[in-house]
Structure 1
Amino acid sequence: MGHKPWFWQSKQTGQTANSEENVPEHIAIIMDGNGRWAKKRALPRIAGHNEGMKTVRKITRSANRMGVKVLTLYAFSTENWKRPKVEVDFLMKLPEEFLSTFLPELIEENVRVEMIGDIEKLPVHTKRAVQNAMDRTAGNDGLILNFALNYGSRSEIVNAVQAIMNDIQSGVLEKSDVTDETISQYLMTSHLPEPDLLIRTSGEHRLSNFMLWQLAYTEFFFTDVLWPDFSEEDLLEAVAVFQKRSRRFGGLS
């Protein structure tokens, strides 16, 4: 499916984004601020998470229209199990609700659903919903909508190191074979390009155990906008900022 050229200029900052320039191939987003969005409105936290799912749908459409190849969304971290059980139970029901309503559109738009994280530790109903979406969109070759679900970057790296050690012990690898590229090949994202742009909403300025290896040369964009309020214009502004940066990957300017 082709993407029509687009041009956008922010009325507030004057930043411009142009589809004929450098659109990020892979955008990763730490979706933060659902709870604060709800608190500001005297609503329960789960109302913020529910509203946040609507934003996921909106931003997925926008990214697909822009020609982004991969959109990775940090949906649930390995640390999020520490939250109150009522909130965790609600969050585990969201993928089923979201994917059941959005899946026909994803199929029509040629979007492929993928996941990074430990799927085996998810509740049966959550795992079933995610696996069904991945199976039904497996043949699509458009935007990859990649959910980081029950995901933690440190455990991902530990698992990769352990797998490499096992392969060295079994003779599949030599110690001298282990390079940056080798480690990348043992990560959950081995088949994906590393993120070009990371967006974090709600005014926080940390990575929260998200894609620590993969973000080594990623451009960061932080915004005070809470995730449920994050709009297509906010996404375009982030892309506009990205397009004006010079990526040197450690080289000279």
Structure 2
Amino acid sequence: MGAHPGLALILGTARRLFRARLHAVEAAGPTLLDRPPTPKPTVKWRILAPARARAALLWRLVPCDDPGSIRPPAPPTAVIPSHTRATAASPPPHPSGARPPVIPADRMPRHVAVIMDGNGRWATERGQPCHQGHRAGASAAKDVIHGALEIGLPYLTLYAFSSESWKRDAEEIATLFELLRQEINGKKDPDHDVRVRWAGSAEGLPEDLVEELLSAERNSRHRTALTLTMCVNYGGRAELAHAAQQLLHATRSGDLPPGTVHEQDLAQHLTLAHAPDVDLLWRPGGERRISNFLLCHSAYAELHFTDTLWPDVDRRDLWQAITEYGSRRRRFGAEAAQAHARAGSAPSGMGGRV
């Protein structure tokens, strides 16, 4: 009713901290007689780090208005700003003039996930510093996004920075973050019809990068042609651990009865709950593993491995991967005849697939 949204964030964070204190009391048991209950530092960090980043963004984007000047909310037709309703720019054609293949609807994946691998090796082969490989990889990612728009792919997820990537050289990490900032801003690029989402943890990330990711989500929320999920500081096992923690809290608070947790409940607490299951997981670069990427979401994904290093990839490689995907028979545990009959209607989401 006119209160600043930052206040709601503060209250919600205080509630989560209080709940964490209650869990610490429960875990302490009789040791409460000897020392005060304190949540573990990692627990407090998981609560406070994203809250601080979101609070900084909210207080910057939403001014504090005089309560006397608060006006009633605009009608629904006026909620979406005019610049977001404008026709988005079409992606530029490939320099070769190549056009996307025609894929039948029942052979078209809904969700393609990509492990962008080989930037460092690409630079080493050319005697260049590692950051040049990442810059070339960023250009490749942009062309693949254009190709996804051209072929009509609804969901594309890119593995930009894994939770294991912190083991890299500090200068290389700084270059990666700077490239991410530039690509997220993209002010020099046309405004394509792409909705940006972020999957990953805020822990350890620079505050301004977290703000950029959240701002990109907010500013592109009305886009509909392609949902692009950037996995930044993401790990599949960490995602499952976080979801399990959320389910535990839900059962302890009474929001979810114990013993009734289903696959759908787990799916709702995953960071990619907004997207359908991955249909096609593609990894260029010559490796043959999924490297802790979208473990639950890719349970029934078709795997596609290629030897081309990521900086040498363009939209034609994406189209080739989708074409090969269309030639495969996806059974989902059914007999071949049944699978063929339902090839275009396989269920989405974690539940229902056997």
Name the TM-score, length of structure 1 as normaliser. Answer: 0.89
1:19 to 94, 97, 103: 103
Indicate conservation of the 8 Å contact 1:57/1:102, yes or no.
Answer: no
2:116 maps to 31
Indicate conservation of the 8 Å contact 1:103/1:133, yes or no.
Answer: no
- Taking the aligned partners of 2:193 and 2:175, their CA distance within structure 1 comes to 29
1:9 maps to none
Paired residue secondary structure (2:117): coil
1:12 maps to none
Shift of 1:131: 2.1
- Taking the aligned partners of 1:67 and 1:238, their CA distance within structure 2 comes to 14
* Percent identity between the two aligned chains: 37
Paired residue secondary structure (1:140): coil
Tell me which amino acid in the other structure corresponds to 2:250: D
2:143 maps to 58
2:201 to 89, 93, 118: 118
1:75 maps to 160
Q: Which has the higher strand share?
A: 1
1:227 to 310, 327, 331: 310
Structure 1 residues 156 and 252: CA distance shift in structure 2, 3 A: same
1:47 to 122, 132, 139: 132
Paired residue secondary structure (1:86): helix
Indicate conservation of the 8 Å contact 2:145/2:315, yes or no.
Answer: no
Tell me which amino acid in the other structure corresponds to 1:173: L
1:5 maps to none
Structure 1 residues 47 and 215: CA distance shift in structure 2, 3 A: same
Q: What are the ranges of 5 or more consecutive residues in structure 2 without an aligned counterpart? A: 1-86, 89-99, 337-354
Structure 1 residues 211 and 240: CA distance shift in structure 2, 3 A: same
Could you list the per-position Cα deviations for residues 47-72 of structure 1 after superposition, in whole angstroms to 9, with x for gaps in the alignment? Answer: 00000000111000100111111110
- Taking the aligned partners of 2:103 and 2:193, their CA distance within structure 1 comes to 20
Matches within 5 A, 1:100-111: 100-101=185-186, 104-105=189-190, 108-111=191-194
Runs (4 or more) in structure 1 with deviation over 4 Å come to none
Q: What are the ranges of 5 or more consecutive residues in structure 1 without an aligned counterpart? A: 3-15
Shift of 1:139: 1.5
Shift of 1:110: 1.5
- Taking the aligned partners of 2:267 and 2:188, their CA distance within structure 1 comes to 30
Tell me which amino acid in the other structure corresponds to 1:170: S
Paired residue secondary structure (1:119): coil
- Taking the aligned partners of 2:333 and 2:103, their CA distance within structure 1 comes to 26
How large is the Cα RMSD of the aligned pairs? 1.9
Matched, 1:165 2:248: yes
- Taking the aligned partners of 1:176 and 1:128, their CA distance within structure 2 comes to 38
Matches within 5 A, 1:192-211: 192-211=275-294
- Taking the aligned partners of 1:198 and 1:154, their CA distance within structure 2 comes to 17
Indicate conservation of the 8 Å contact 1:95/1:130, yes or no.
Answer: no
Larger radius of gyration: 2
- Taking the aligned partners of 1:103 and 1:113, their CA distance within structure 2 comes to 17
- Taking the aligned partners of 1:103 and 1:211, their CA distance within structure 2 comes to 31
Name the TM-score, length of structure 2 as normaliser. Answer: 0.64
Number of residue pairs matched?
239
Matched, 1:212 2:318: no
- Taking the aligned partners of 2:217 and 2:245, their CA distance within structure 1 comes to 27
Tell me which amino acid in the other structure corresponds to 1:247: R
- Taking the aligned partners of 1:102 and 1:31, their CA distance within structure 2 comes to 23
Shift of 1:177: 2.2
Matched, 1:96 2:181: yes
